[in-house]
Structure 1
Amino acid sequence: MEEFIDGKIEDGNREMASTEKFSKLLEELKNCSVTEQKMKIEEMNRLIDVMNEKEFHSVVTKELFDQMEKMIEEEKLTMENAILLLKHMGYCNILKGIYIEDFFFSSLNRRFRKMIVDEEQKKEGNDEKLFIDLIECYLLLDNRFSSDMYPICVPCLLIVALNKEENEETQKEVEMALLALSYIGYWAIEQKLYLNEIKTIIEYHQEHHNLTRLAYQSAWSFLVCRSYYYKSLEDVIVNELHFSREAAKELEELSKSVDWKRKEERMGKTERKTMDIILRWIGFIHHLFNRFHLENEEYVGLFSDLVDVFRASRDNHDEVGKKCVILFNESANNLTVEVDDLLKSGAIDVILEELHRPTLNKGLAFESLKFFYILSLRFGGKENDEMKEAKRKELKRKMLEKMEEEGYEDIFISFQKTNMFYFDDDSGFIHL
Structure 2
Amino acid sequence: MSVTEKFTALFDGLEECDEEEQVQKIMEMNGLIDEMNKEEFESIFTIELFNKIHQMIEKEKLPWGNAILLMKHVGYYQMLKRFYDYAFIDSLLSDRFQELIIEEEEKKGEKNERLLVDLCECYLLQLDYNICEDLVSICVPCLLKVASKKERNEETQKEVEIALFGFNCIDDGTKIKKEIFKNEIKEIVYYQQEHRNLTHLAYQSAWMFLICGFPKVDSSEEVIVNELHFGREARREIEDLSKCIDWKRKEEENGRIEVHIIERWLDVIDNYLTSCELWNEELAGLINCIVQVLRASRDNHKDIRNRCFDILRCAAENRNVEIDCLLKNGAFGAVLEEIQQPTINDDLIRNCYYFFLSISERLKEKDVNETEGEKRKEMKRKIFEKMEEEGYEDDIAGFHDVVSFLNKKYYFQLSFNSSDYFVNV
Same fold (TM over 0.5): yes
The corresponding residue for 2:287 is 303
The corresponding residue for 2:142 is 156
Deviation at 1:232, TM superposition (A): 3.8
Deviation at 1:385, TM superposition (A): 2.5
The corresponding residue for 2:167 is 181
Q: Secondary structure at the match of 1:260?
A: coil
- Taking the aligned partners of 2:134 and 2:223, their CA distance within structure 1 comes to 26
Deviation at 1:359, TM superposition (A): 4.4
Residue number among 306, 310, 315 corresponding to 1:331 in the alignment: 315
Change (3 A) 1:323 1:192: closer
Please tell me whether the aligned partners of residues 179 and 214 of structure 2 are also in contact (alpha carbons under 8 angstroms): no
The corresponding residue for 2:421 is none
Q: Secondary structure at the match of 2:204?
A: helix
- Taking the aligned partners of 1:422 and 1:371, their CA distance within structure 2 comes to 19
- Taking the aligned partners of 2:319 and 2:176, their CA distance within structure 1 comes to 30
Q: How does 1:285-324 map to 2 (within 5 A)?
A: 285-324=269-308
User: Within the alignment, does 1:251 sit opposite 2:238 as a pair?
Assistant: yes
Change (3 A) 1:224 1:261: same
Residue number among 410, 413, 424 corresponding to 2:406 in the alignment: 424
The corresponding residue for 2:371 is 387
Please tell me whether the aligned partners of residues 216 and 275 of structure 2 are also in contact (alpha carbons under 8 angstroms): no
Residue number among 194, 197, 202 corresponding to 2:189 in the alignment: 202
Please tell me whether the aligned partners of residues 241 and 258 of structure 2 are also in contact (alpha carbons under 8 angstroms): yes
Q: Secondary structure at the match of 2:13?
A: helix
Please tell me whether the aligned partners of residues 188 and 229 of structure 1 are also in contact (alpha carbons under 8 angstroms): no
The corresponding residue for 1:167 is 153
- Taking the aligned partners of 2:232 and 2:153, their CA distance within structure 1 comes to 27
The corresponding residue for 1:47 is 32
Residue by residue over 1:225-263, the C-alpha shift from the partner in whole angstroms, topping out at 9 and shown as x without a partner, is 222466642222122211111111111111112111122
Deviation at 1:340, TM superposition (A): 0.9
**Length, aligned pairs only:** 412
Of 188-197 and 98-107, deviating more is 188-197
Change (3 A) 1:261 1:86: same
- Taking the aligned partners of 2:38 and 2:330, their CA distance within structure 1 comes to 34
Please tell me whether the aligned partners of residues 216 and 276 of structure 2 are also in contact (alpha carbons under 8 angstroms): no
User: Within the alignment, does 1:213 sit opposite 2:200 as a pair?
Assistant: yes
Please tell me whether the aligned partners of residues 247 and 281 of structure 1 are also in contact (alpha carbons under 8 angstroms): yes
- Taking the aligned partners of 2:243 and 2:158, their CA distance within structure 1 comes to 23
Residue by residue over 1:72-119, the C-alpha shift from the partner in whole angstroms, topping out at 9 and shown as x without a partner, is 000111111111110011111111011121222111111111111111
Of 239-248 and 420-429, deviating more is 420-429
Please tell me whether the aligned partners of residues 309 and 348 of structure 2 are also in contact (alpha carbons under 8 angstroms): yes
User: Within the alignment, does 1:354 sit opposite 2:326 as a pair?
Assistant: no
User: Within the alignment, does 1:282 sit opposite 2:269 as a pair?
Assistant: no
Of 229-238 and 317-326, deviating more is 229-238
Residue by residue over 1:1-44, the C-alpha shift from the partner in whole angstroms, topping out at 9 and shown as x without a partner, is xxxxxxxxxxxxxxx22222222222211111111111111111
Deviation at 1:123, TM superposition (A): 5.5
The corresponding residue for 2:422 is none
Residue number among 195, 198, 223 corresponding to 2:210 in the alignment: 223
- Taking the aligned partners of 1:348 and 1:133, their CA distance within structure 2 comes to 48
Which ranges of structure 1 fall in alignment gaps of 5 or more residues? Answer: 1-15
Residue by residue over 1:345-382, the C-alpha shift from the partner in whole angstroms, topping out at 9 and shown as x without a partner, is 11111222222335445543443344223322323343
Please tell me whether the aligned partners of residues 154 and 193 of structure 1 are also in contact (alpha carbons under 8 angstroms): no
Q: How does 1:69-148 map to 2 (within 5 A)?
A: 69-122=54-107, 125-142=110-127, 143-148=129-134
Please tell me whether the aligned partners of residues 221 and 278 of structure 2 are also in contact (alpha carbons under 8 angstroms): no
Deviation at 1:407, TM superposition (A): 2.3
Of 362-371 and 17-26, deviating more is 362-371
Residue by residue over 1:197-217, the C-alpha shift from the partner in whole angstroms, topping out at 9 and shown as x without a partner, is 111111000000000000000
Change (3 A) 1:229 1:75: farther
Change (3 A) 1:102 1:359: closer
Please tell me whether the aligned partners of residues 155 and 193 of structure 1 are also in contact (alpha carbons under 8 angstroms): no
Deviation at 1:296, TM superposition (A): 4.2
Change (3 A) 1:431 1:174: same
Which ranges of structure 2 fall in alignment gaps of 5 or more residues? Answer: 415-425
Change (3 A) 1:294 1:229: closer
Considering only aligned residues, what root-mean-square deviation do their CA atoms show, in Å?
A: 2.5
- Taking the aligned partners of 1:46 and 1:325, their CA distance within structure 2 comes to 33
- Taking the aligned partners of 2:404 and 2:209, their CA distance within structure 1 comes to 37
- TM score, norm. by length of structure 1: 0.89
Deviation at 1:179, TM superposition (A): 0.5
The corresponding residue for 1:6 is none
